[in-house]
Each structure stands twice: as C-alpha cells, then as structure tokens.
Chain A
C-alpha cells in the first residue's frame, strides 16, 4: 500500500516536471518561485483607502506596510512603528517609526508619509476609514520628527490600537507626482498601482481578471525565513471546476477559502496538495433585516433561528464549530459564555411564529446569497426545506456580490435575509459590534440587519470610551446578551477556514484581521521530501 502510494507520488512529480509547470516543486534555489493564488472576487481597487473586502485587503497587505501589524494571537505588534506610547487620558498615541524603511521606488519612508497617508484615508472617507473619521481630526495627525507620528483622538477610543494595522503608509511624493487637479489625492493612480513599501510590488493588474505581484527584494524585514515566493499570480474565479483544474495541472499554489466543500476535499486528496484548516474569529450568518417584512418582528427572527438545522450546516455544508451569539469565542476575554449555541427545534420555531404579528399568515421570506458560492446555495435549499415546515416560503435570490453590496445601502432594498461571512476587520470585538450593529455603521453589507437600536449604540459607545480592559470586557458581554436577545441574525456556524494549498507552501498562520493571514512575506516554498 505504501509502495503504491509512493509510486503514485513519484509519477505525479515526474509528470509535473515533464510539463515544466511553474509551480512544480522545484528544488533549485536559483529558479524563480512563482505560484497561482485563487481569489473569490475581483480586486475592485488597490487603494488602501478604498478597499473593503477580503480580496482587496489581500492586495494591500502585500503591497503596503501599516504602523503596526497583528500577530496570530490577535495581539497588535510592532511593524513600521517599533513602539508606541499612549497618553494617560487615552487620547494621544505616539508611534516611533523605524528609520530604515524604503518604499519600493527606493525613496525613504518618513513619518510625514505616514501622516499624509492617514490624512488621505480620512479625507477619502471610504472603506476602512469608517472607524476613524469622527474619531480623528486630520489636523491632529502630526509628525514631530522624521520617525515620530502623533495621533490625537477626539475622545478616548479603546479599539483604536487594534485598527492601527490598517494605517498603511503610501509614498506621498510618488502619489502627488501622479495626482491631478481634480484628483489631488491621486485616487486614480493609487487604485491601479502599488506605491508602498510592502513585501510585494505590482507587476500587472487587470481589474476584471487577474493581478500579478512580485517580491520586493529590498523589503525592510528581509527575506531570511527560507525560500521566498518570488511571484504571485492571482486568478479570480469562483468556479470550483476551474480551481480544481488548476490544481490538477499542479499550477495552483493556494485556493480561496470560498470553494465548495467537495472541492476542498478533492484537491486536498490530490498528490502534491494539502488542506489548510484553521479556526477564525468570524462567523457565517444569515443576517435578518429588522426593518422589513417579515423579519421586522423579533419572533419571526427567532422562529427562523429555531428552524435552522445547525448540525447539517456545521457538519456537512460548511464545516465549523457552533457559535454562541454574535462574538466568536476566539476573543476569550470578551466572550460571554452564558449565551447558548443555536438550537434546531421546529416546535419552538412554530411557537415563536405564533407569537409574531404575522401569525397565521403565509409568510414569504426573501433569502439572498452570493450567487457564485456553492455552499450558500445549499444552505438556502436547506433553509427552504426547513422553513417550509413552519409555513414560511423561502424566496431564494442568488445575487452577484456587488449587487448585494448595492442592495445593502438602503433598508428597503436590503433582502429580509442574507447569507454572509463576517470576520473582524481589525482584531478587536469592537470590529464585530460597531461595524454590524452601530447605527453609525449602517448601510454596508456588514450591517444588513439595520438594527439601529439606541441601547446597543449606547453600549458600543460606552465600550469605546472605557480604558480599563476589565470594564471593556464587561460591556462587551452585556452587548452580546442584548444583541442575542434581539436575534438580528442567525449565527449559523463559525466556519473552519479552509484553503487548498500546494504541499510546498509553508508558513500559513491564521491572523484575526481581514487578509492579514495572506501576507506572502510570511510564506516560504519548501517542498516536503517524499
């Protein structure tokens, strides 16, 4: 048996070698390591001030450096800044930058670039800035000297430090050289180019199809982890068959994590491939729009929650672990252990429905999901079958992702229920609470619940103003209970994040912030000996 297996592995290797595939495990060090990475969505922008989605962050984290970065533990650790001080009142943050960092064009990175970049982020006021806009006045971001950045907050805000990894630094001179009169912030240029100091620079970028980045040999952190990956070719496809074909040819370095379960299994079983599996801080939810029929009634929302077959979702459709309400238990200190996991109980679902204002009516529930995601269709069909038994007709509406984003901008167009995967955008429970449930964050795909509840808003504000970690965590626990009581979503599963990866790809570690786990500087290319 083992002989057979070995033989097969050998012949696969031989075949790959014969075909001369770029990603074939080649031991020769001088050969350029180039690999293909599959993304679910297109790179709609490369501008660090504009990216909003997982794919966009994957691009910027490789091309730019932030003041800080996040460790696998979720801790904020030094990056461009070697250290920082926080004033007593919690208002002033002083970052001490390294002096040995150069941009990809060779010019030196200075504190003024960081200040300009943060101000630019605030001025553009899109994507990542929603957290910071009314927290920081652009004038209060200053550079007392070439290696010091001082940021003065308008009010104490405890999660601020957790958001500093997204304060990515752009090459001010280069951007300004390419800015125009109507585009003083160089949005057009930054959207299509890499103007940072990051480990990879842009080779080619085609908005609708693909992107290629190559290693920045002068990266300030060096390349001493092992054989680095020299070139990454991103291929956008949500078609499982295409990804599988890439793997069969040995070209695939890393898949997206949005493939169908079966695809992961089958690629994982191919010789030369492995399956990466990790816990995440996020959750797969069915967001319920609390502003429209029929999910404006909490009893209907609870009925839907009771009609969800958690076990089938967690075990078959989208493997993962149960969730306890809105916050992942990976946030150990903030997590409220008293909140139970979801229960599949059609009788209770019927009871809840009977309490609702729509009791006795034929209820139709719209359910949207990302059309290209196979597992979400399966979840929809599962929900449809279960809800049918309590008298709710599920109107399944697969939509392209950009359409969902568009629908989310208005409570009337936001579907009554939408399947989304949510992960913290910065490593703090605040990311989950504020982005999804605070009134000020309304109008994005994060907040399709349209909760807009004053009590919840107050609790979030309270947590942000507190400085004592214990107090903050107490507020977080209260928040979880309040949100759980409103049931603005069905927290279906904390999915295991899975990637199908080439066996040669080493160094993957989960980091609880956007795509910070896919900074290719962390990876090496070491093929296991057979």
Chain B
C-alpha cells in the first residue's frame, strides 16, 4: 500500500519518568489510505492518544520514538526537520480538537481566533493574504460545517455559542487548509449524546464529500461503527486486532475485543435485570419539586414540578442531558439542596435523614480526597456512625470485601488506585453509613466500558445482598435500559415521560425520548434498525441547537 496517505510502521515509543523507562507503544503498524476512515480504539492507557500525538509530532518531552517510521504522503515525518514537519500540518493532515470550550480563548471573538490561525498558517507557508480574503475563506469553511450564518458566528464570543456549534467551528478550523487526512481525537465526547450524533454525521458527510481520509481516536465502539471503515484495536500499547469495521464488530477474534463488545450494554434484546418492585408505600417520595436559581437578578428555573416516588428495592433511573436538572433533583432528594417549592418525604416523614440515603459520585477522582488514604476515607462515616477501634476495623474489612477489594488497599492513596478501584472505594464509603438508598450520580460515566460493566455488576450484587434501593441519574440510556427498573426522562427541568424501562424502550411516547434513543451510538446494525424514528421537526423542537 505505497499509496497510503498515512503509514505507521513498527512504531515504538518510550516514556521516561522518575528514572524509569516504560514502553508505551510496541510495534504499532497501520495505514490509512486516501478516502479511508480508520478508527483507533482502546481504553485508558491503550496508547491510542500517544499514537495520535506521535503522528502529529506533539509528544511530550519525556517521550522518545525508539523505532519505526511514520510516513505521511510517502515521507517519513520523523526524519523531517521541525519546520517542514510543521508545514505538513493543515495541508497534509489536520486535527479536530477534542474539547470545544477550552480550545478557544474566551476573550477573543470566534472570527478573530480563526483569522489568527489562518494568518499564522499562511505566514508559515509564505502565502500573503489580506484580511478580507481570509474572512471569505473562513466564511466558506463555516458554511461547510453547516453554520449557515458565518458572520454571526464570527462576531460571537465562544461562550455565546452552544457546545455543538463550537465543535462545528473546531471542525471548520481543521478544514481551513483542505487537509487530505483528518485526525479526530474523541470528537464530541464532551457533548450530549444527541449533539455528538450530529457531529459524527457532519464528519461523515465532510469525509465523503471532500474525499478526505479520517483517523478517529475513540473509546466508544458505537462511534466506531458509525464513522469507521476499518478498526485498529489497541490495548496497553499493542495492537490486538485490526480489520474492517463490520467484521470486527460482528465477529471479533481477539478475546479483548470480544470482552470490549460484551461490555457494551445492548440497546435491544434481553435485559440483564428484571426486578420486583415493592408495592408498599414509597421509601422516598418527592412531590411537586421545583428549584429556581437567582443569578444577576434573573430567575432561572432549573426544576419544575417534579414528582418521584421511589419504592423500596427498585432501581429508579432519571435520564436527561446536561442542563436538564436531573442532578438538581438528586441533590434535593438527598437533602443537599432546598427545593424552592414542593417537598421530599422519607418513609412518610419530611426531610430525609442522611443515613437513609448516600450518594456515589460520577468521578471517583474528585469524590475521594487525594490526600487521605482509603482507610481514612472509610473511617469518617464509621466514626460518625459511632464505630471505634476493633469494631471499626472489622467493619472496614467487611466493606472492602463487599466491594471486592483486598483489605491491604486500605493503606493506599487514591492516586495509587485505578478508576474502577476508586469507584469501588467510593461505593464502600457510601455503604459505610448503612443506607437504604444509594443515589448514583452517573456512577460509571468516567470509567472505561469494561470497568463500567464490572462496577454495574457490583452494584447489582450489592443490591441483592443488602436489599438496597438505587436512584440513578445518567445520560446514558443504553446503560439505564439494562440497569434500571423504572425510568423517567427529564427535559429542561421537567419529567416528560416516566414508566417501566422495557415499556419506554418498546414504545417511547415522547418525541424527545425517541430522539434520545435514536442518538445512542450502537454497535450492531440490528440495534440501529430498532431505533425509533424521529422527524426533523421533532428534533428541532426538543434538541439544543447545534447550528445557527
């Protein structure tokens, strides 16, 4: 394949830190042909981002390429002098940035930012360009990313655009120099699922129309199916499997790929769990909850008239995109935030006592104090539960066993644990107070798919062993379908649909629910076919605008 646009061959990368050298990429070889769409997929630490950085020439200083070549359009970029290598950026290949907000300087207008980028690129290539001419080129590019009113976008500050629009601008940025290869590092990951879906559609359209090649870095198998012709699966710095997308997703050969696919909760087909819902009076009930925030004299309604009855033993899911108010509802249910209107009662008594409900946060990286050991973190709720000395140590051991962690981990600090282990510690801490209800705030969102699966399984086992009730908030509908017994969908502070999970998925009534389900990236064509249909009008009515 000498006509390959990008050819990586036997790439070895070493990282040196603290006097130790570790190989983070081993013998990485793959190619991206003209017009081809290739996805590099892998979990945390797989080396997919290091690979992208090696190609872009943005490896950190303590990294060395010890072997291999990276050919772009037939030239080994590793041997090119810095200047020539930089010149390749933009024209030969171009990167779509990952984080739409932090990629812009908040004090510059979008137009200024884009003009700077173009001007620097022109100067690098020795091309003279006038301001008006550059503005015309920018407007053209913005139109290509389906921003129909480029002038308005250019005159806006980054904060005035929605996340989806910013992501479009970033894509436009990458297109400024008509690159032959687009490199996209987790595009849209930071966005809501519906917005992400549109962005992926846009990338697909652009690649098809311009005949560009695409190298997509992602951890999401659903994304892979949507945008890739070929897949390269990476793990711990090795390529474990590579091949056409359809084949890999349909009949993976390597056990890692198999496991990875298994871990993705199916959108259709048999559910993992069926739960008995108690017919008794609800353990926690919220009636007519409303919450307003005052800001600069303006009142903003975050939650409006939400009523939820949580029955003992059930797993209740509250789904919604960012800004829908689901976290606010959870905080009010916990008693962490006072409702502006309505009330929460627990077992019939208003205002819940803390021991009844505990919370597991989304990001174990921030929910555990980095300066305190596992033992100290667990010890705190036990101390306030009145346990001391031997009794406390025994309880700690018991908790560690409950979350399937060795007792020796008690002495560790959070940074010595993996993400999944940290989340287990966070769960153990929540359990320490012997709660009846656990509030799960996106408990797996920060974790890799395979880890996510084990945490979900742990939660299900714990529920059975301890008879817990879960209240889960999440944006991940496919996860909730497999986990929750009952589901409520929130949109702009209101619950738009509520019911038993299987029923909602079988027959989503509200168009927003349908749009949400339709946007979920899935791994099989079968699931894709089962998705409900959403008309463009319905989209426009309920989704955040991503175009102008």
Complex contact flag A–B (Cβ < 8 Å): no
Partner-A contacts on B (CB < 8 A): none
Partner-B contacts on A (CB < 8 A): none
